[in-house]
Structure 1
Amino acid sequence: MNLTDATLVLLLAARIHGTDEAIRASAKNVVKKLPGGKRDLIYKVIDSRTPLDLVNYLSQHLDD
């Protein structure tokens, strides 16, 4: 798994479930499958107070 795959999982969790708990659970699941150097973004999602807002923000700024 790479960071693009993990980001896609988070975006799908936000789209399908739309809850902070679902996004946090998905992030905890994929962070174990990423190489150590690529885990920073996922840990920020896990530690965020509002992971849904963070993932929505990330999705709006993917092209930047």
Structure 2
Amino acid sequence: MTLSHATLVLLLVARIHGTDAAVRAAAKRCAKRLPRSKRDVMFKVVDSRSPLALVDYLADEL
């Protein structure tokens, strides 16, 4: 899995489920499959107070 794939997963989960819990769970699953050097973005989403808002912000900046 690449960082692009993980980002796409987060965007889709945010769009389909629309909850902080779903986004946080998806970020945890993706972090396990990414190389260690690319996991920091996923951990920031997991540790965020509002993961859904953070993913929305990331989507706006793409």
Same fold (TM over 0.5): yes
Could you say which TM-score interval applies, normalised by the shorter chain?
A: over 0.9
Residue 57 of structure 1, CA deviation: 0.2
Q: Distance in 1 between matches of 2:33 and 2:13?
A: 17
TM-score, with length taken from structure 1: 0.96
Identify the residue that residue 4 of structure 1 maps to in structure 2: 4
More helix by share: 2
Q: CA RMSD in A?
A: 0.3
Q: Which residue of 2 aligns with 1:49?
A: 49
Structure 1, unpaired ranges of 5+: none
Any idea what SS the aligned residue of 2:58 has? helix
Aligned sequence identity (%): 63
User: Stretches of 4+ moved more than 2 A in 1?
Assistant: none
Q: Using structure 2 for the length normalisation, give the TM-score.
A: 0.99
